[in-house]
Amino acid sequence: MLLSTQVVVAPMSLHTGLVQAELTNASVQISAQNVSATGPGAYTGEVSAAALKDSNIGWTITGHSERRDAGETSAQMAAKTKAAVAGGLKVDA
């Protein structure tokens, strides 16, 4: 049986552009570490799925353990996951 593997890295948001610029292997993909549950708009500090897609980021993480430890609820995680999928992102939850 042939297995397929995808390689995805998730740098902190400030470094995604740098990592994209330095990647020489086109098969390595970039993930955001978080995504907003809201759509585009004036949500200070939030990054929408649309903005991530516009930046050529095709993945996001939802339900990250540090966020869960800080009080992010299952409902919040579900809303972020729903927004990410609706925005065309792949999700690692």
Q: pLDDT tens digits for the chain (93 residues)?
A: 777 888 999 999 999 999 999 999 989 999 999 999 988 778 888 899 999 999 999 999 998 888 888 999 999 999 999 999 999 999 997
Question: Residue 58 and residue 66: Cα distance in Å, rounded?
Answer: 22
Question: Residue 82 and residue 89: Cα distance in Å, rounded?
Answer: 10
Tell me the backbone φ, ψ of residue 91, rounded to 5 degrees: -125, 135
- The pLDDT assigned to 84 comes to 96
- The pLDDT assigned to 42 comes to 80
User: Are 85 and 54 contacting, i.e. CB atoms less than 8 angstroms apart?
Assistant: no
What's this model's pTM, rounded to 2 decimal places? Answer: 0.86
- The pLDDT assigned to 83 comes to 96
The amino acid at residue 87 is G
Alpha-carbon torsion angle 14, 87, 67, 5, nearest 10:
-80
